[in-house]
Amino acid sequence: MISINNVKSAFLTACLLDVLVSKPGNVSFMSPGHGMTAKLFVNSSKVVVPILFDENKTLGQKIEQSVKKTFETVNCNTNLGIILLCAPLIQAIIYLIKKQPKKIINQKIFFSLLKIQVKKIIQNTTIDDAKFVFRAIKIANPGGLGVVKRADIRGEPNISLLDVMRIGSKRDFIARQYANYFFEVFNQEFFNFVDLKNKVSKNKPANESFFSLNPDEFVLKIYLNWLTKYQDTHIRRKYGSKVSKQILDEACCFLFHDNSFPVESEKNDVNIYLPSEKKLLAWDYSLKKRNINPGTSADLTVCTLFLVLVLLPNLRSDLKKKMYA
């Protein structure tokens, strides 16, 4: 049975894995960058948990107050995208655990109910939610944030958060997740090909080809899948589509290089090749030298990890053992 404490643990573990694993262009313990260190990200994740899990706050309030608390703690934008993606998921999960526990017969049904509840939460967002989120964005001031005519963040919105996100969905992939009710997140292939009813055996995760990977491989595969499938909209907002397309192409070159090691991928129906550590470090150095941070891909990775770890509590325990082995 999934508990609130398990969900909190899944969120914190996902955020920790994000910086424990060196992902090209992103901040990690091994490779700081963009004026930030991994410790800032870890501290940020810890301080937002009480806010994100507060049932007395609206979605917009959770987002604004989480960003405020982050800046009070680390004085920089470490987690706006993570908060935007995970806040509605956490709200939906808490609702299902507390209001519909008898319906959660197994993980497959839980996943189906979760998709329905997330859609309801987003559809029910208000103008006030939009105002709170605009304030959060103003505080975080993410690089190159585009301004939408009908929903200019410099003013007060007069439409719901869902309508705001629909307007921004063509230029921002996180806004797109709100606009299409997390379609791309929920429809990642491993949420389909894994038997959610019997996901994890007593001793090891199901689908050994993916879930038995070590933490580095596990996180990198998720990150690179996002990075090779969609242009990173953080990069695109900051540098334009030419550069974001270039980074996508670079990721594909690394991912499918002959001298890498294979990881079976049901997502692309091919054998994904994770680059060697040496090549990953070289690309990480190159991206940071160019001041390029695939931030949206990193946020989507945390969101994906969070969902997987909620749905697979045994996997969370298994990963923790490997992390601290």
Q: What is the DSSP-derived secondary structure letter of residue 77?
A: -
The predicted-structure confidence for 216-271, as pLDDT tens digits, reads as follows 888 998 999 999 999 999 999 999 999 999 999 998 887 765 444 444 444 443 44
Which residues pair with residue 265 across a beta bridge? 270
Q: Where exactly are the structural domains of the chain? A: 4-203+296-323
User: Containing H/E element for 270?
Assistant: strand 270-274
What one-letter code names the amino acid at 308?
V
pLDDT in tens, 84-140: 999 999 999 999 999 888 878 788 889 999 999 999 999 999 999 999 999 999 999
Q: Whole-model pTM?
A: 0.88
Query: What is the DSSP-derived secondary structure letter of residue 151?
Result: B
